[in-house]
Amino acid sequence: MEEKIVTRFAPSPTGFLHLGSYRTAIFSYLYAKKNNGIFVLRIEDTDKERSKKEYEENIIESLKWLGLDYDKFYRQSENVERHKFYLEKMIKDGNAYISKEEAKDGSGIIKEIIRFKNPNIDVTFNDDIKGEVTMNTKDLGDFVLAKNLNEPLFHLAVVIDDFEEGVTHVIRGEDHVSNTPRQILIQKAIGAPTPHYAHLPLVLGSDKLKLSKRRGALAITEYKKMGFLPEAILNGVAFIGWNPGTEQEIFSHDELIQSFDLHKVQKSPAVFNQEKLEWFNKEHLKNISLEEAKERIFIYLPDELKKEKLIPLIMERISKFGDVKDLVDRGELDFFYKAPIYDKEKLIFKNISAEKILQNLKLAHEVLNEINESDFTRENIKNVLMKIADTLESRGEILHPVRYSLSGLDKSPDPFVIAEILGKNETLSRLQKAI
């Protein structure tokens, strides 16, 4: 009978996890689903002083938003009786012992801690990314398993939880490689099988140092607040240190599952790039409906700008929905609801004379006035203006003054789009002012 694959994501709720941490969750999830397996979320909350409910809730919210639905949920603190059972068994079997030691705080208090009796052997394991790894355990000494029978430490709790929860594949960060020999020794001592290991290379920031909250790495929920799409974050983070070996970069949730291959994870550290993440988001924005775009964009717009015709134009100019607020705050959309104030000298295009610009503006006003209000669309506006533009030495001789008279900005959308959104009366009014 074929082994049922079980992976797990086992974060500690001692702070907000950053994007690099969730890459582990994404890879564990994709591997399980690709193989029709089970994905487990285990909250490792045995550090009572630092663990907080708000951090646990943030982890759960982040996974839900990313679409990483877990099949089983555990809290490590609810497994303390099983940890105690195995500790007592290890002591009884001679694999662990109670050691009376002076507290390290200089108080002189003698405490009883539980240490593992190290056999000082070489430990070899096959890593699905790194290949075969052999490490000698002699330098580890008789390491501590628990503060007492009721307070197990990380290595013991992890081994027992993985065993009890049937975890077959441990996919985690490279910083855990050094923990693996200890955990394999504990597995042997309690009669647990050794799971398959895959240690993911580190995620580095743009400064080529390990990505961390201290150096600006953000929680997933921060990306949500910034207006990123969850499918774009999922896609972008999956591509940090992995790719399918094809030219395709934009993947849906289901396509990622279908294409995921753990053996295509790169062995060297991967660099996280915020600009690339924004590119992924911009690509995914192309796949959403006009209705969803309208709903998300209108959140950021003042009432005067809530025009459906503005949606495609705004979508072209943003990488994430939070950018809409920036456009509004910078006043880049103001000209759509109030006539711009500008320096008339800027209506001149290059070295063309003011007389020629005036003539072109009058021509533009004349031909646009002939379009029926119901037919005042960008296509019809473009057709009549381009007929004039194509007779000139440079199209900019007419298109620049028209665009500038409508927007008052050095950089703005093309005049056909602006005119359609403003409507016939406002367009003609602004051209008349320019004239």
Is 86 domain-assigned? no
Is 160 domain-assigned? no
Q: What is the pLDDT of residues 3-30, one digit of tens each?
A: 799 999 999 999 999 988 999 999 999 9
Above 70 in pLDDT, residue 2?
no
- Whether residues 282 and 299 share a domain: the answer is no
**Burial of residue 173, with CB atoms counted within 10 A of its CB: 0-12 exposed, 13-18 middle, 19 or more buried:** middle
Residue with tokens 């985690």: 172
Residue with tokens 């197990």: 152
Above 90 in pLDDT, residue 214?
no
Is 122 domain-assigned? no
Are the beta carbons of 116 and 91 closer than 8 angstroms? no
**Burial of residue 343, with CB atoms counted within 10 A of its CB: 0-12 exposed, 13-18 middle, 19 or more buried:** exposed
- Whether residues 307 and 247 share a domain: the answer is no
Are the beta carbons of 52 and 19 closer than 8 angstroms? no
Are the beta carbons of 235 and 284 closer than 8 angstroms? yes
Three-class DSSP category at 332: coil
Give me 371's structure tokens: 């379009």
**What pLDDT score does 212 carry?**
80
The Cα–Cα gap between 20 and 225 comes to 18
**pLDDT confidence tier of residue 107, bands split at 50, 70 and 90:** confident
- Whether residues 228 and 281 share a domain: the answer is yes
Higher pLDDT, 327 or 214: 327
Question: What is the CATH number for 407?
Answer: 1.10.10.350
Three-state DSSP string of 215-226:
HCCCEHHHHHHC
**What pLDDT score does 45 carry?**
92
The Cα–Cα gap between 335 and 380 comes to 22
Q: 310, 336, 362 — which closes off a domain?
A: 336
Is 177 domain-assigned? no
Give me 258's structure tokens: 């279908």
Is 150 domain-assigned? no
- Whether residues 282 and 222 share a domain: the answer is yes
The Cα–Cα gap between 265 and 35 comes to 17
Name every residue whose Cβ is closer than 8 Å to that of residue 403 and which is 6 or more positions away in sequence: 412, 414, 415, 418
The Cα–Cα gap between 135 and 176 comes to 13
Is 228 domain-assigned? yes
Is 196 domain-assigned? no
- Whether residues 308 and 330 share a domain: the answer is yes
- Whether residues 423 and 348 share a domain: the answer is yes
The Cα–Cα gap between 342 and 346 comes to 8
Domain holding 302, by residue range, is: 290-336
**What pLDDT score does 109 carry?**
85
The Cα–Cα gap between 334 and 328 comes to 7
Q: What is the pLDDT of residues 347-368, one digit of tens each?
A: 999 999 999 999 999 999 999 9
Higher pLDDT, 211 or 34: 34
- Whether residues 261 and 217 share a domain: the answer is yes
Is 143 domain-assigned? no
Above 60 in pLDDT, residue 1?
no
Of the chain, the percentage scoring pLDDT greater than 90 comes to: 91
Question: What is the CATH number for 280?
Answer: 3.40.50.620
- Whether residues 210 and 282 share a domain: the answer is yes
Bridge-based pairing of strands 110-116 and 96-102 is antiparallel
**What pLDDT score does 358 carry?**
97
Does pTM top 0.85 for this prediction?
yes
Number of structural domains (the chain) is 3
